[in-house]
Amino acid sequence: QVSVLYFARSAELAGLRCETLSVPREITSLQLWEEIVKAHPRLAVIRDQVVFAVRQEYVLLGDQLLVLQPGDEVAIIPPISGG
């Protein structure tokens, strides 16, 4: 189980700021995104803009293998505009 943290637009789309999800211990970043979208289909609209942070390190969506530990934090960070 991992803690998923939602920020900005991802929190709006998911309808919550954090939750615990059960996912495989070894999973690619893209597979992890697909598991999260299964739980919150509305997140699919930000797929091409989102970045993960796993254990506070940025991870791009793709075939990078993640080895998750129970209690790891996964942050969903959509694009943030600013000026």
Amino acid identity, residue 34? E
Return the CATH fold of 1-75.
Ubiquitin-like (UB roll) (3.10.20)
pLDDT band, residue 81 (cuts 50/70/90): low
Alpha-carbon separation of residue 38 from 29, 55, 57, 80 (angstroms): 14, 22, 23, 24
pLDDT band, residue 80 (cuts 50/70/90): low
Spatial CA neighbour of 57 closest among 31, 78, 75, 83: 75
Asked if 4 and 36 touch (Cβ cutoff 8 Å), the reply is yes
Spatial CA neighbour of 41 closest among 79, 14, 74: 14
pLDDT band, residue 9 (cuts 50/70/90): very high
Q: What is the mean pLDDT of the chain?
A: 92
Q: What is the pLDDT of residues 29-69, one digit of tens each?
A: 999 999 999 999 999 999 988 888 999 999 988 999 999 99
Domain ranges in the chain are: 1-75
